Amino acid sequence: MDKMIVGVIGFGTVGAGVVKILLNDKEMLEKRAGIPVILKKIADLDITTDRGVKVPDGVLTNNADEILNDSEINTVVEVIGGENPAKKFIEAALNSGKNVVTSNKEVIAKHGLHFTSMAEKNNCSILYEAAVGGGIPILHAVRNSLSANKIEKVFGIVNGTTNYILTKMTDSGADFAATLKEAQDLGYAEADPKNDVEGYDVAYKLSILAGLAFRCHVDYREIYREGITKITPDDIAAAKRFNYSIKMTAIGMRREDKLELRVHPVMIRNSHPLASVNDAFNAIYIRGGSVGDVMFYGQGAGEMPTASAVVGDIMNLAFRKADGFSEDSRYDLHAMPVMPIDECVTSFFIRYTVTDEPGVLAAVSTVFAKNKVSILSIQQVDAAGGQAAITAITHPVEERSMKNALEEMKKLACVKEICSVIRVGLGE
């Protein structure tokens, strides 16, 4: 490639950020790339809204085909998000041998494998740094700088919306519904929040990150996923008493010939650096065979941080000089089996209510012991009206055993309710 001729599909928040960098910092980018970097077209259905950047005449179009059919454009930026019509735009671009840069985790999690083989066939590339961790350059580091490592583990906070909600719930003591509403009013959560609060977004990101880290194909549908909708102010208060914070996390580990992959809220000890990653920030740990633990921290979303990663990918393509396919290939496309959640081992926090009478502790303890659940710490929180609320943290135990213990507990007459079950720790 002797010049980058770029078409941007999608002129929303991220698209506007990309356009701002491409237009306002053109001189800097071209000096660094050593070749011209030209924004030729921007396609969006809405080309009248002011996006805060002045676009030259003739660049805006409401027809994506003007980009996809332009033989001069060699790099297509897809920043509309969601599965459709992004998928068909990406396919069309790759089919014409155009490089694709996207920030779209959903379409990559669902069709990344398909896109990768299309790109290989057409001697072009698809890059998607912005799809995981926003502005944090984690994927390129895994592919390139850390490639001398067999990666054993990836974990972290990769969703700004849930981290914002949990941070606010921790600060204010408010419940999930009220805090979600506030986040929606401030633009930190979408009108339909399911993608974030039910953990789909995190599962998409984990499938992409784990696929690159463990050099295999990870189907996001095989990832155990649990959202934050059931977290209550009582859970947050209990976590504080135990000196923990509740965070929505992605955890991926190599377990001999299987992968352990889980997306769920976790109680993290406050001395762990992830416990102080607050608001919309993201932080990702990579544990490599040689490098040990490295951590990357930054803004996981937002117009300019995400645009930084998108334009970084464009620059990465420009730096290569040669056309074609290099380390961005997921060359190793075998699937690794995912460990069933029942076999995963973790500590648990449980909160439950019992009748406040002699013998209750013994009855519950017998159920725990029978199922090999060993208790690290137990507290009676309060007692009123003949009932007591109990919080307990277990030693690490197989998920299956914990489930059996909870089932048996529910059958005890003295146990009124199992209010919460939250995993503890990051799978050390």
Q: Which is nearer to a copy of itself, 133 or 193 (CB)?
A: 133
Q: How far is the CB of 292 from a copy of itself (least distance, A)?
A: 5
- Give the Cα-Cα-Cα angle 99, 100, 105 (nearest 5 degrees): 155
Question: Binders of a copy of itself: how many residues, by CB under 8 A?
Answer: 57
Q: How far is the CB of 321 from a copy of itself (least distance, A)?
A: 6
Chain residues 180-239 in contact with a copy of itself, contact rule CB under 8 A:
215
Amino acid at 163: N
300 contacts a copy of itself (rule: CB under 8 A): no
Phi, psi at residue 29, to the nearest 5°?
-60, -45
1 contacts a copy of itself (rule: CB under 8 A): no
146 contacts a copy of itself (rule: CB under 8 A): yes
Nearest to 43 by CA among 15, 16, 64: 64
Instruction: Put residue 414 in one of left, alpha, beta given phi > 0 → left and psi -120 to 50 → alpha.
Output: alpha
Binds a copy of itself by CB under 8 A, chosen from 179, 299, 391, 420: 299
Which part of the chain contacts a copy of itself (CB under 8 A), choosing from 160-168, 240-248, 315-323, 335-343? Answer: 315-323
Q: How far is the CB of 177 from a copy of itself (least distance, A)?
A: 30
Q: DSSP label at 336? A: P
Question: Can you tell me the distance from the alpha carbon of 59 to that of 44, in angstroms, rounded to the nearest whole number?
Answer: 11
H helix intervals, 83-218: 86-95, 105-121, 138-140, 160-172, 176-185, 194-197, 200-213
Q: How far is the CB of 226 from a copy of itself (least distance, A)?
A: 28
21 contacts a copy of itself (rule: CB under 8 A): yes
Q: Which is nearer to a copy of itself, 28 or 186 (CB)?
A: 28
Site string for a copy of itself, 65-104 (x = CB under 8 A): ----------------------------------------
Binds a copy of itself by CB under 8 A, chosen from 36, 273, 340, 386: 273
17 contacts a copy of itself (rule: CB under 8 A): yes
Question: Can you tell me the distance from the alpha carbon of 117 to that of 188, in angstroms, rounded to the nearest whole number?
Answer: 35
Q: Which is nearer to a copy of itself, 33 or 180 (CB)?
A: 33
Which part of the chain contacts a copy of itself (CB under 8 A), choosing from 80-88, 146-154, 191-199, 233-241? Answer: 146-154
Residue 158: how many CA atoms within 13 Å on its side-chain side?
34
Binds a copy of itself by CB under 8 A, chosen from 62, 69, 145, 377: 145
Binds a copy of itself by CB under 8 A, chosen from 113, 141, 414, 421: 141
100 three-class SS: strand
Phi, psi at residue 322, to the nearest 5°?
-70, 145
The token pair that represents 144 in the structure block:
């390139």
Q: What is the DSSP string of 7-39?
A: EEE--SHHHHHHHHHHHHTHHHHHHHHSS-EEE
Binds a copy of itself by CB under 8 A, chosen from 63, 84, 172, 276: 276
149 contacts a copy of itself (rule: CB under 8 A): yes
Amino acid at 380: Q
31 contacts a copy of itself (rule: CB under 8 A): yes
Pairing of strands 244-255, 151-157: antiparallel
Q: How far is the CB of 336 from a copy of itself (least distance, A)?
A: 15
Q: Which is nearer to a copy of itself, 280 or 367 (CB)?
A: 280
132 contacts a copy of itself (rule: CB under 8 A): no
Q: Which is nearer to a copy of itself, 232 or 329 (CB)?
A: 329
Q: How far is the CB of 54 from a copy of itself (least distance, A)?
A: 18
Question: Can you tell me the distance from the alpha carbon of 46 to that of 168, in angstroms, rounded to the nearest whole number?
Answer: 34
- Specify which residues 249 forms β-bridges with: 264
As a 3-state breakdown, the chain gives helix, strand, coil percent values, each rounded to 5, of 40, 30, 35
The token pair that represents 396 in the structure block:
């690490």
CB 98 within 8 A of CB 40: no
Chain contacts with a copy of itself (rule: CB under 8 A):
17, 21, 25, 28-29, 31-34, 129, 135-137, 140-141, 144-150, 215, 273, 276, 288-299, 304-305, 307-312, 314-316, 319-322, 324, 326-327, 331-332
